[in-house]
Amino acid sequence: MKVICKQFSRHVVIGTIAFLIDYELMVLLTEYVNMYYLTSATLSFIIATVFNYIFSMHFVYKKRTDMSPKVLFVIFIVLSAFGLLLNNFLMYVIVDNIQVSYKVAKISAALIVSVYNFLSRKVSMEKHKAHDQVRVFLRERKALL
């Protein structure tokens, strides 16, 4: 439990910095470049995700030795793409249906997406005993076939 708390704390610090990059860039692009809020939210999310990937892989998650860095990066991108869809869906619902400012919507969406990001990355990108058990189980089943 201590390990998860420590990881989550690091995730929160890096995630907060990534959120600030995401939020400030979104506001800058929306307010000063006159970009549609969902377009600016998408661009800022992508840039913040690159920052998050670099720092998370160094400071948050235990590196998997059974996968190449390229495979881990692809997994990260796929998980982040779902996070982006979730972010934009929540923002759209909050802004266009509930009529709340895109700035407030971003904060609400970011809180939900942050929990998804931590859990999905922890399960997918770290080596766990459960992964090993599943791998052994599948290997045994293949041997039977």
pLDDT of residue 23: 97
Positive or negative, the CA dihedral 60, 105, 48, 83 is positive
pLDDT of residue 71: 84
Cα separation of 133 and 145, whole Å? 19
Cα separation of 64 and 110, whole Å? 27
Q: How confident is the model at residue 135 (pLDDT cuts 50, 70, 90)?
A: low
Q: Where are the domains of the chain?
A: 2-144
8-state DSSP, 61? S
pLDDT of residue 115: 87
Is 0.75 topped by the overall pTM?
A: yes
More confident residue, 70 or 100: 100
User: pLDDT tens digits, residue range 43-59?
Assistant: 999 999 999 888 888 88
pLDDT average, residue stretch 82-111: 97
User: pLDDT tens digits, residue range 64-91?
Assistant: 677 788 888 888 889 999 999 999 999 9
Q: Which of 54, 24, 58 is nearest to 41 (CA)?
A: 24
pLDDT of residue 121: 80
Q: Give the pair of three-digit tokens for residue 125.
A: 């990108």
Give the DSSP letter string of 66-93: SS-HHHHHHHHHHHHHHHHHHHHHHHHI
- Distance between first and last Cα of the chain: 39
Q: How confident is the model at residue 108 (pLDDT cuts 50, 70, 90)?
A: very high
